[in-house]
A and B are shown apart, each in its own frame.
Chain A
Amino acid sequence: MPDEATRKAAHEAARGLRPLWADLHVHTVLSPCAEVEMIPPFIVQRARELGLGLIAITDHNTGENVEAVQRAAQGSGLAVLPGMEVQTREEVHVLCLFDTLDPLLDWQERVYGSLPPLKNREDVFGAQFVVDETGEFICMNERLLLASTSLSIEDVVSGVGELGGLTIAAHVNRPAYSLLINLGMVPPGLALSALELSHHMTPEEAIASFPQIAGWPLVLSGDAHRLSEMRANTLITVREPSIAELAMAFRQEGGRRVKLLL
């Protein structure tokens, strides 16, 4: 007689639901602070080694390397969601995730228009490489990407939502660039889909330190700036790795759900 877990898994498979390990916060060499090893084929290889079924590429205020990682992942079974880590004018980092490249590129245009008209200083902040799917150099992104946009957090959450994407407040338990530290709370009424925890403390410790996050859907990501920082700690059960399904998982609808496992 099959046990409860086996029966449940069989039942879910019949409904098309499957569990996916996800890391929704991965940088590439386009982020000035990321290591040069963060090129598409290595990211895909590391994701497969970790058993990840889903990653999101989230460089600082840009999405120009997303397509290269998607191409590198073709045929590997790894789903790559287009994303970006935007810095709001409150200096809060917000992950912006989309189903496809088109809305990401629309969003990127708005973000670029909201950045200060300054050039990156490679010697100070680091280089910003745009690469192809093999990791081959295409060009430098010359904008100062490690800067605040003029967009408020409300602008970001609503703007991404209007383009069909979803937003996750990044590393809310970190001492810098985080919603809880910079604003002191999750602003009431803000339509974030979830909060991301950084892994320097356990989710239990994070909730003890920041009681205001209790009840929010949580993800735990690597915020990887090097390959060894990618993580498989967030198990998402969905039909497919899409924005609509992720949103259902965060709301725990129709059997979709998110679980953190350390």
Chain B
Amino acid sequence: MTVQEIANALALEVAAGAAQLGRDVTGGYASDLLSCVMAGAQAGNAWVTLQAHLNVVAVAALLDLACVIITEGAHPDSDSIARANEEGVPILLTEESTFTVVGKLHQLGVRGSE
């Protein structure tokens, strides 16, 4: 399943990384602690979090994640969006909670990578 398909299915707003939406999503990871993400998320994963700051983009780029889904209406600032576009990290936004988004991803067949 591609990032674009997930964005469509969950009606996510694409805030950055529109050129990389064709990428395949290999699995999912959800956490708001960046240290946990660095230890647990796998390349190609969709990361679900309510954090929306610049280091989210840095960690997603570092781990080569397929996309970041930012929940609960949190909105990255313009620096973060610019950085995500530079790094080619799709940033997808939703008003829904992490719990709801993860449930929907699971229904779509996206699984944890552990």
Instruction: Give A residues with C-beta under 8 Å from B.
Output: 33, 89-91, 116, 118, 121, 124-125, 146-148, 175-176
Q: Are A124 and B34 in contact (CB under 8 A)?
A: no
Q: Are B58 and A148 in contact (CB under 8 A)?
A: no
**20 cross-chain CB contacts under 8 A:** A33-B54, A91-B33, A91-B35, A116-B35, A116-B38, A118-B38, A121-B62, A124-B61, A124-B62, A124-B87, A125-B62, A146-B55, A147-B35, A148-B33, A148-B34, A148-B35, A175-B53, A176-B51, A176-B53, A176-B55
Contacts of B39 in A (CB 8 A): 116
Contacts of A176 in B (CB 8 A): 51, 53, 55
- In the complex, how many angstroms separate the beta carbon of A183 from the nearest chain B beta carbon? 12
Count of chain B residues with a beta carbon within 8 Å of a chain A beta carbon = 15
Q: State the main secondary structure of chain B at its contact with A.
A: helix
Q: Are B38 and A147 in contact (CB under 8 A)?
A: yes
- In the complex, how many angstroms separate the beta carbon of A107 from the nearest chain B beta carbon? 20
- In the complex, how many angstroms separate the beta carbon of A67 from the nearest chain B beta carbon? 28
Which of A33, A89, A121, A125 is in CB contact (< 8 Å) with B35? A89
- In the complex, how many angstroms separate the beta carbon of A42 from the nearest chain B beta carbon? 22
Contacts of A175 in B (CB 8 A): 52-53, 74
Q: Mark B52-69, 1 if CB is under 8 A from A, else 0.
A: 111100100110000000
The list of the 5 closest CB pairs from A to B, nearest first, reads A148-B35, A176-B53, A124-B62, A124-B58, A91-B33
Contacts of B87 in A (CB 8 A): 124
Assess A91 versus B58: contact at CB under 8 Å? Given A176-B51, A176-B53. Answer: no
Q: Mark B37-50, 1 if CB is under 8 A from A, else 0.
A: 01100000000000
Contacts of B52 in A (CB 8 A): 175
